[in-house]
A and B are shown apart, each in its own frame.
Chain A
């Protein structure tokens, strides 16, 4: 079983929809992350969770709402998104927030119409 899984792999939604992205890690890690990868832009860190507590929020709009119910699961709830939010959303985990290596999931390709 792969270390970090993400569902769905692809998502198309309208601007008024509410959807959630799910990430699950099977590595026993304590830290989880959400990243946004837009075309021709550097990967952007959105949120960091350590032991289910949010430790970093990089000025992300409130239409993105993360949730970490336990150390293995991370959600990104989406509401009233804009077309410019279309991107690849990557989840990652690491042993601890300061660990050198982050393990990434395959991402969810999101298209907002």
Chain B
């Protein structure tokens, strides 16, 4: 079974509006971490935000926030006040466990976000 599912291959949002990118995950490990990365057309993956499975509050980083719903196993990314530079591929990822050396990130297939002027 896929560990990370992103059901939106593409999304469009008007500039200055907010957008939510969906991510669901599958794990039986009680300890895990959830990540969002942005990949512009230049290719590099840019870390955006992290949520630990034991974190009580939703993570926020500037215009990015992670809507963490543990019971539903979802970790949606919310981008507020979209900018043209936000157009990119967005990947959700998960790491299971906190063992030293265990750093296998499982990635979803990504969502291509296009911000419309």
Contacts and interface: CB of A to CB of B under 8 A. Distances in A.
A104 B45 contact: yes
Contacts of B33: 100
Contacts of B43: 88, 90, 106-107, 109
Interface residues of A, number: 30
B42 A106 contact: yes
Given A45-B104, A45-B105, A105 B35 contact: no
Interface in A15-73: 31, 33, 40-45, 48, 50, 55-56, 58
A88 B43 CA distance: 8
A86 interface: no
A109 B107 CA distance: 19
A40 B109 contact: yes
Given A100-B35, A104-B45, A106-B44, A56 B103 contact: yes
Given A101-B47, A104-B46, A106-B42, A56 B4 contact: no
B91 interface: yes
Interface residues of B, number: 26
Which of A41, A43, A48, A101 is packed against the most chain B CB atoms within 10 Å?
A: A43
Given A41-B109, A98-B99, A104-B37, 14 more contacts: A42-B4, A43-B45, A43-B93, A48-B104, A56-B104, A88-B43, A94-B103, A97-B100, A97-B101, A98-B98, A98-B100, A100-B33, A101-B50, A106-B44
27 contacts: A4-B44, A33-B103, A40-B109, A42-B106, A43-B105, A56-B101, A58-B104, A92-B45, A97-B100, A97-B101, A97-B102, A97-B103, A98-B98, A98-B99, A98-B101, A99-B103, A100-B33, A100-B35, A101-B50, A102-B103, A103-B47, A104-B44, A104-B45, A104-B46, A105-B44, A106-B44, A107-B44
